[in-house]
Amino acid sequence: MVHIKRLQEDGADIISVIGEIDASSSIELDLAIAKSVGEGFKKILVDCSALEYISSAGLGVFMSYIEELKDKNIPMVLFGMKEKVLNTFSILGLAELLHIVPTKPEAKKLADELSV
């Protein structure tokens, strides 16, 4: 069960992911990122501080946007991830393909740098 909230801060769309993402709920994350892109946001920050679990279905959603966001020059930065969740990204080397930082200020800074 996952709950997703979106709010906007300094021109960035912040997607907060709360709970667990598995094969039954990954569509919610997919829709939230698709909306953010569709609404024309130029920076996407994903707040993972309340994300308790992610399976490959959720990893796959993030992975599937890497090329599209690169083509559209939209940086997406994930932040606040718990160690056990970060480990899931790291097992497959996905942590190196995505932008993941510890805190929101660092996420904002990186998104600013990447969008120049």
Partner 1 sequence: MSYQYNIGCSLSNLKGIREFVRSSLKDQQVPEIEMSAIVLALDEMCSNLMIHAHHCNPDHMLELHIDIPATGKLIFEIVDDGSLFNINDFHEPELGNLVHQKRKGGLGIRLVKAIMDSVEYLKRDEKNVCRLIKVIK
The reply to whether 57 sits near partner 1 by the rule CB under 8 A is yes
Task: Figure out which of the listed residues 7, 10, 11, 24 binds partner 1, where binding follows CB under 8 A.
Answer: 24
The reply to whether 38 sits near partner 1 by the rule CB under 8 A is no
How far are the Cα atoms of 3, 16, 74, 94, 96 from residue 66, in angstroms, in the given order?
23, 19, 10, 11, 12
Residue 16 near residue 28 (C-beta atoms within 8 A):
no
The reply to whether 7 sits near partner 1 by the rule CB under 8 A is no
Task: Figure out which of the listed residues 18, 37, 50, 94 binds partner 1, where binding follows CB under 8 A.
Answer: 94
Nearer to partner 1, 7 or 92 (CB): 92
The reply to whether 28 sits near partner 1 by the rule CB under 8 A is no
Give the separation between CA 29 and CA 53, rounded to whole angstroms.
13
Phi, psi of 92 (to 5 degrees): -100, 0
* Planar angle of CA 4, 107, 64, nearest 5 degrees: 55
Stretch that binds partner 1, among 4-12, 35-43, 83-91, 100-108 (CB under 8 A): 83-91
* Planar angle of CA 86, 89, 95, nearest 5 degrees: 95
Which residues would be at the binding site for partner 1 (CB under 8 A)?
1, 20, 22-24, 26, 30, 53, 55-57, 59-61, 63-68, 83-84, 87-88, 91-94, 97
